[in-house]
């Protein structure tokens, strides 16, 4: 029995040595001479090299998501509306003869989201008025559509509205929703006026407005703060910030 036990022990030892030799040989062949398992300690990148990892998402974003209105309901200054503007800042509109240089520039912080200084615009209001549903997608995934990006300044531009779906998808909005409210208008747009009508649909990267009148498609001119506004004109501005 002792002899048989010794023989079995030697056989088991030989099998173990053979197994280890086979595993080691396999590793040498697979890893090209490195006799240890190759477990990646950093992410494996397509194509190799030192390209940093990126997350690519392909959401199903099509009509009407791209052209629909993002912030539903009436404008309420105490609510926070999402978009490219900072809801807690006031902005001045910079007019230029070159359309691509027209934009909103932050002028100051506001504690109540109202900007009642002459010709200042509330960032919270602009998010409500001009943000299409695709813009929050862009903001989360890429930071937004950059039309100017330098070491000192970045301009974001709203999504282009093609007009698809018409006013049924992005209605012409009114501030206030009904009646008159000059304090609401002044806090949102800096105009001491009773009410304002706005249009986004079909205007590409622009917004159109008219004070004390519904017709935003008659006598339309570019908005220039230096010239003021009157109720005989509709005005068009570029939504870049």
Structure tokens at 217: 């498609």
- Tell me how far apart the alpha carbons of residues 125 and 75 are, in angstroms, rounded to a whole number: 7
* Residue 71 clears pLDDT 80, i.e. is over it: yes
* Residue 14 clears pLDDT 70, i.e. is over it: no
- Tell me how far apart the alpha carbons of residues 94 and 117 are, in angstroms, rounded to a whole number: 16
- Tell me how far apart the alpha carbons of residues 231 and 160 are, in angstroms, rounded to a whole number: 27
Q: Which residue has the higher pLDDT, 154 or 52?
A: 154
Q: Poorest-confidence range of 40-44, 84-88, 97-101, 184-188?
A: 40-44
- For 96, residues 6+ apart whose C-beta sits below 8 A from its C-beta are 102
- Matching residue, tokens 């105009």: 191
Dihedral sign computed on CA atoms, order 126, 73, 186, 67: positive
Per the CB < 8 A criterion, the answer to whether 238 and 103 are in contact is: yes
When pLDDT is cut at 50, 70 and 90, the band that residue 35 belongs to is very low
- Matching residue, tokens 């209605």: 171
Structure tokens at 115: 């900007």
Q: In this predicted model, what pLDDT tens digit does every residue of 98-127 receive, in sequence order? A: 999 999 999 999 999 999 877 899 999 999
* pTM beyond cutoff 0.85: no
Question: What's the full length of the chain, in residues?
Answer: 241
Per the CB < 8 A criterion, the answer to whether 199 and 208 are in contact is: yes
């Amino acid at each position: 029995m002792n002899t048989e036990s010794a023989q079995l022990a030697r056989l088991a030892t030989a099998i173990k040595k053979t197994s280890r030799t086979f595993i080691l040989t396999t590793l040498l062949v697979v890893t090209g001479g490195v006799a240890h398992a190759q477990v990646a300690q950093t992410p494996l990148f397509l194509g190799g090299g030192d390209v940093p990892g990126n997350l690519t998402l392909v959401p199903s974003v099509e009509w009407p998501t791209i052209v629909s209105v993002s912030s539903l309901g009436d404008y309420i200054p105490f609510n926070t509306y999402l978009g490219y503007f900072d809801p807690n800042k006031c902005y001045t509109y910079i007019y230029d003869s070159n359309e691509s240089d027209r934009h909103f520039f932050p002028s100051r912080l506001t504690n109540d989201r109202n900007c009642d200084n002459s010709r200042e615009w509330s960032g919270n209001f602009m998010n409500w008025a001009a943000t299409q549903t695709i813009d929050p997608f862009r903001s989360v995934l890429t930071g937004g559509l950059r039309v100017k990006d330098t070491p000192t300044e970045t301009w974001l531009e709203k999504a282009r509205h093609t007009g698809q779906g018409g006013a049924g998808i992005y209605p012409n909005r009114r501030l206030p929703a009904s009646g008159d409210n000059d304090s609401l208008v002044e806090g949102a747009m800096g105009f001491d006026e009773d009410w304002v009508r706005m249009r986004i649909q079909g205007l590409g990267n622009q917004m159109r407005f008219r004070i004390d009148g519904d017709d935003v498609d008659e006598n339309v001119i570019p908005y220039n703060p230096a010239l003021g506004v009157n109720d005989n004109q509709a005005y068009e501005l570029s939504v870049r910030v």
